[in-house]
Each structure stands twice: as C-alpha cells, then as structure tokens.
Amino acid sequence: MKTYFVKTPKFVQRLFPKRIWAFSTTKKEIYLTFDDGPIPKVTPWVLDLLKTYNAKATFFCIGKNISKHPEIFKKILSDRHSIGNHTYNHLNGWKTNTEEYIDNCEKFDEILKQVQSDKSTITKQQATSNNLFRPPFGKLTSKQSKILQKKGYKIIMWNVLSADFDKSISKEKCLENVLKNIQVGSVVVFHDSLKSEEKLRYVLPKVLDFITHKKWKCARI
C-alpha cells in the first residue's frame, strides 16, 4: 500500500508553512533534487547527464557517503551544483530522539568543514550548503524542525515525488509521476542510490528531454 503523495497536497504544505515545498518563479525554472548519495555507481552518471543538458541540481547528501566517497562529492561541488544536509546516517526523525537527531545533522556539517579545509581541490564558496536541509523520508518532528530552523537551516521538502525508490511501481509509472505533475517552480525528488538506480536511469533522461522541450531551466536551490 502506497504511503506517500506523488504530488504534495496544498493542505500538507499549509500545515508546515515554514518549510519550502516549491518556488514561485517567473524564470521558468525547475528544481531537480537528488537524495542519499554520493555513491560511485550512480552519482557520476547523474553528474554526466546533467552536464550534457547544461542542467543544475541540488544534492541532499548523506554524511557517511561523503566520508566514503569524498572525490565524488567534490565533483558535485566542482560542477557547481548545490548541496544540502540529509543527516550523517539517514535518520528517520520520527524514530530518533531530538538530541541524537540534531547531533547527527551537525556531524554532517563537520564533514563539510573538512571538505572546505581542502583548499587545493575546492573553494570555500563551492563547499557551502547554504544551510539547506532535507529530512530523510520527509520525517522530522516539530521540535526537531524548530531547532534546525533556529540554527539557520532552510528545510527543503518537495511538491513532486518521483517514487523511484518504490519497488512496487514500474519505471513507466515513475516517469508518469514526474511528467504529470511537474510545473514551473516545482521541487522534484529523485535518489542517486542503488535502490533507485534502475528507474532513475530510465526516467531522468526523459525528464530532462521534457524540460528542454518546454524551454525550462534546471536550477539549483
């Protein structure tokens, strides 16, 4: 049984008005986002494809994956994409006490500081996350949210979910999820993960073709 919305309803967005769900824009921009990377088998392919289309995106990275694959993370930065905090261990906020959750978010920031200190390969400006944060599974408590916002984080949600992680749907349905719901200002969620790889490799090129045909621009947050 599906336990998620492909198109985030307006009533949900109104329940959490301080979280960012989409953008009002007159620039015909779309905001593609990728959660859970970086990993060697998927993220470099995503980066190459984005470069082919001259598209920018935002990568909500898991800190542990940055630690394992720092060179891929640096490639995200050197390609001038935005990055955001997705916790260090991909924690579910509803199942994690507040202190542990906040500590895990801050552990991600420590990894980012290590990247910033490597001035031989990346500039400080490139390594900034702009305090973007996306909760894994979209789940965090009101208390966790308030603490993170008080610390200066911008909580980025979405209004279009590709559901590339859902093994019960076809790759064609995954594509339909995006194409039927995307519009100017949309924040679209994909995952550069092994779980989502098969669907992502089918869907992402077609979505980028669609956006190009519409003469929209893929922008970073």
Our answer to whether residue 191 is catalytic in this structure is: yes
The answer to whether residues 175 and 203 touch, using CB atoms and an 8 Å cutoff, is yes
Catalytic residue, from 69, 81, 86, 191: name it: 191
End-to-end CA distance of the chain: 32
Q: Choosing from 35, 36, 166, 192, which is the catalytic residue?
A: 35
71, 47 in Cβ contact below 8 A? no
- Two structure tokens written together for 111: 């990894």
CB 189 within 8 Å of CB 138: no
- Per the DSSP assignment, residues forming a β-bridge with 85 are 61, 133
Note if 35 is an active site residue: yes
63 phi and psi angles, rounded to 5 deg = -55, -40
Helices (H), 84-220: 98-116, 124-127, 142-150, 171-179, 197-214
Residue the block writes with tokens 């279009």: 160
**Hey, which residues are catalytic here?**
35, 191
